[in-house]
Structure 1
Amino acid sequence: MKIIAMIPARYSATRFPGKLMKDLGGKSVILRTYEAALNTELFDEVYVVTDSEIIKENITNAGGNAIVSKKEHECGSDRIAEAVTDINTDIVINVQGDEPFIDKTSLSKLIEVFKADTKNEIDLASLKVQITNKKDIENPNNVKVITDVNNLAIYFSRSVIPYHRDATINVKYYKHKGVYAFRKQALLDFYNTPITPLEAAEKIEAIRYQEIGKKIKMVETTVEAVGIDTPEDLEKAKQYLNL
């Protein structure tokens, strides 16, 4: 089974423009992420997929693999799918470009889903983390996920799911972490399907996979990633790097 990592890397970012090229301990954020993915030794190959020649040069000058997208893309899955079309692989892992401190344990769990899936029934695997704070549960920026008894995703939503109608019942809430492992064909099927109605309503790409019949296995993790969305996050990352 060949497993590769793809790191989608847009140069522009609404909250923090150019964040992937910001300095983090003498290297750019995206280069830190690329090297961290390599150092996990989980992948046969690692690529950065970007819309920016600046990012591409930063990676290739360091001896890395980078691909510039030919088209404009709305989401990471589309960007990765275009890049992976002509690459020979079985499993593709989407590694977040703005999370340079990679959680190897969780990525290993995603890979194990496919190694254990001898019947090739699972199309995707992704991560969920339990949340207990009321504000986090109600925050529409936190995508929630509910699963069946086999941890297959039933639905993703920015709304509070499940609705806790009976207070005597213990309910757990899970936030979806946007780290995916795909079978290559599932990724290509997503790419070749227009945006679906529920996906368009919720602005959650995982829903398109469900609307076209793909099975998503959710893996629970307790690790909250150190993501860089703001200048303040970058300062926290610098402090984390020095620990």
Structure 2
Amino acid sequence: MILGIIPARYASTRFPGKPLIDIQGKSMIQRVYEAAKASALLSDVVVATDDIRIREHVEAFGGKAVMTREDHPSGTDRCQEALLRWQEAHPGETAQYVVNIQGDEPFLDPAQIDELAAALDGTVELATQMIQVHTAEALHDPGEAKIVLNAAREVLLFSRQAIPYLRNVAPEEWHLHHVYYRHVGMYAYRTDILEAITRLAPSSLEKAESLEQLRWLEAGYSIKVVETQYDSHCIDTEEDVEKVLKLLQK
């Protein structure tokens, strides 16, 4: 079975209480939860939070939530604790995979979850999604992690830089001469791998690029990538709410 986990912290430097904000009559966390529940391939969905207000809100609209520690350094670590809490509440049931669903994407399409979940065949250790880069702006934006693949559509490298470097081509035209991809979407972890990667110490590449997934690559784990046509629409600030709503209305 595949368990969907939605990490949801209350404290946020840029937007405290973000999961509980109202977006067209529903909270952001309710919108994400309902999208996850509409997935055809997830067996169960649970919100992993560190705040009683979020847990009570989720339970009030009929969702499932578990309390986790406040001091987790990443959503991956929070997913591991949430998995343990879920297993305690469901004795005799075993999840083979966990899908980490971002709690700040209220307009997530359930089909995007299913695209990723369909790749989880038991041999896949870790998986995520990518979308093709079509503009020089996105390609050279250090806020976007680019992905270099091998022939099996597994990750060779994540980088904030555009790789490969194209000799004798102007950087603003690189995307016209080579197919580049950037990282979007969710992570999926086989549960034995999830336990293992949360025990790893931060790696040198991870520290250099500030990308958690580089720790897994350096440790020798493989990451399968699924191409998607669904872009991410994250809400990080109050201003992002209106931006995303306008974008979706186009």
Q: Which residue of 2 aligns with 1:73?
A: 72
Say if 1:51 and 1:69, in contact at 8 Å, map to a contact too: yes
Q: CA deviation at 1:220?
A: 0.9
CA distance in 1, matches of 2:148, 2:199: 26
- Correspondent of 1:192 among 192, 199, 204: 199
Instruction: Report Cα offsets for 1:167-192 as digits up to 9, x if no partner.
Output: 39931221111411110011111111
- Correspondent of 1:141 among 143, 161, 167: 143
Q: Which residue of 1 aligns with 2:103?
A: 97
Q: Which residue of 2 aligns with 1:205?
A: 212
Q: Which residue of 2 aligns with 1:124?
A: 126
Q: What TM-score do you get using the length of structure 2 for normalisation?
A: 0.87
Q: CA deviation at 1:3?
A: 0.7
Give the total of aligned pairs.
Answer: 238
Local SS of the residue matching 1:154: strand
Equivalence map 1:161-176=2 (5 Å): 161-167=163-169, 170-176=177-183
Letter in 2 for 1:152: E
CA distance in 2, matches of 1:242, 1:68: 36
Q: Which residue of 2 aligns with 1:56?
A: 55
Local SS of the residue matching 1:114: coil
Question: Is residue 160 of structure 1 aligned with residue 167 of structure 2?
Answer: no
Q: CA deviation at 1:56?
A: 1.0
Q: CA RMSD in A?
A: 2.1
Q: What TM-score do you get using the length of structure 1 for normalisation?
A: 0.90
Local SS of the residue matching 1:11: coil
Local SS of the residue matching 1:14: coil
Distance 1:170 1:241, change over 3 A: closer
Q: Which residue of 2 aligns with 1:6?
A: 5
Return 85-94 or 2-11, whichever deviates more. 85-94
CA distance in 2, matches of 1:36, 1:114: 19
Unmatched tracts of structure 2, length 5 or more: 88-93
Local SS of the residue matching 2:177: coil
CA distance in 1, matches of 2:116, 2:130: 11
Q: CA deviation at 1:70?
A: 2.4
CA distance in 2, matches of 1:142, 1:17: 24
Question: Is residue 109 of structure 1 aligned with residue 115 of structure 2?
Answer: yes
Q: CA deviation at 1:71?
A: 4.6
Instruction: Report Cα offsets for 1:59-111 as digits up to 9, x if no partner.
Output: 01222111121251111111101211352310111111011222233322212
Local SS of the residue matching 1:209: helix
Say if 2:130 and 2:182, in contact at 8 Å, map to a contact too: yes
